[in-house]
């Protein structure tokens, strides 16, 4: 069963749904509502708080089932409000509840407001290792930029870590960021640096939330130490 703190919200949603079905000739899949970026940020923050509270309160053998039901309800509610059939990408000047997994073209990074830079300035920022890019498999040209690195506070934290990679291939750099690490409680370095789970992560345990909620400097230190450890291990293996 749902944790007591979530039951009033659940019953209200059921009541609202019943009234809607009685007053409308057909089931409403979404509302024609225009949401501003601020509205989306508030919605994402509320969704995050609901999931965190459920994660903290759910107990017993049905814990995972309850968490999955809460996450599904939150996701469906967001989709209904935004009219979206899938995850909505929120520009970097908002506070999303999860890290996007998409990869962007440079025109999308600049045009959608992920960075407050011109295209030329953005390329210079990439060259100076403030951000990183990858080249899609099977293609020699056409850089793509993982969107997670533009979500605050990542732009303020990522440059010192990227500098440690030196001339490592971009595919290996990306693999490091998105691969789960035992040293980080099973979270990926990207998630730890951002303080948010990826949108594709189905379950986040209490121990993982603990590391995500740590202060940004502490999270950056953990990621930096992991990079340095891996680089030392590779150097020892080679030499």
Return the domain boundaries, the chain.
4-82, 103-238
Confidence of residue 8 (pLDDT cuts 50, 70, 90): low
Among candidates 167, 162, 151, which has minimal Cα distance to 227? 162
Q: Which two tokens stand for residue 122?
A: 């953005």
CB 193 within 8 A of CB 217: no
> Where is mean pLDDT largest: 17-26, 63-72, 154-163, 167-176?
154-163
Res 38: pLDDT: 58
CB 191 within 8 A of CB 99: yes
CB 219 within 8 A of CB 181: no
Residues 6 or more apart from 118 whose CB is under 8 A from it? 110
Q: Which two tokens stand for residue 220?
A: 């950056």
Residues of the chain with pLDDT > 90: what percent?
43
- Which phi-psi region, left, alpha or beta, contains residue 138 (left: φ > 0; alpha: ψ -120 to 50)? left
CB 180 within 8 A of CB 188: yes
Q: Which residue has the higher pLDDT, 150 or 94?
A: 150
CB 212 within 8 A of CB 198: no
pLDDT at 183 over 80: yes
Rounded average pLDDT over 146-160: 95
Res 142: pLDDT: 75
Tell me the pTM: 0.61
Q: How much is the mean pLDDT over the chain?
A: 77
Rounded average pLDDT over 190-211: 92
CB 91 within 8 A of CB 112: yes
CA dist 178 and 70 (Å) reads 25
Res 236: pLDDT: 57
pLDDT at 21 over 50: no
**198 SS3 class:** strand
CA dist 9 and 4 (Å) reads 10
Decide: residue 117, CB within 10 A, 0-12 exposed, 13-18 middle, 19+ buried: middle
């Amino acid at each position: 069963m749902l944790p007591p703190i979530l039951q009033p919200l659940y019953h209200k949603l059921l009541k609202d749904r019943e009234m809607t079905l009685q007053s409308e000739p057909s089931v409403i899949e979404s509302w024609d509502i225009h949401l501003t970026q601020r509205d989306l940020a508030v919605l994402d923050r509320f969704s995050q708080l609901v999931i965190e509270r459920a994660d903290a309160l759910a107990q017993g053998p049905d814990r995972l089932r309850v968490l999955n039901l809460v996450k599904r309800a939150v996701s469906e509610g967001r989709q209904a409000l935004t009219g979206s059939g899938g995850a909505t990408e929120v520009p970097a000047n908002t506070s999303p509840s999860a890290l996007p997994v998409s990869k962007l073209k440079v025109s999308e990074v600049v045009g959608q407001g992920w960075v407050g830079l011109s295209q030329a300035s953005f390329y210079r920022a990439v060259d100076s290792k403030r951000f990183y890019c990858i080249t899609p498999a099977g293609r020699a040209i056409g850089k793509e930029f993982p969107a997670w690195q533009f979500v605050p506070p990542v732009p303020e934290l990522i440059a010192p870590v990227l500098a440690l990679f030196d001339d490592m291939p971009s595919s290996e750099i990306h693999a490091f960021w998105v691969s789960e690490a035992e040293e980080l409680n099973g979270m990926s370095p990207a998630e730890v640096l951002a303080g948010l789970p990826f949108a594709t992560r189905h379950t986040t345990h209490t121990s993982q939330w603990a590391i995500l909620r740590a202060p940004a400097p502490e999270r950056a230190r953990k990621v930096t130490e992991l990079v340095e450890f891996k680089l030392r291990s590779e150097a020892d293996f080679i030499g």
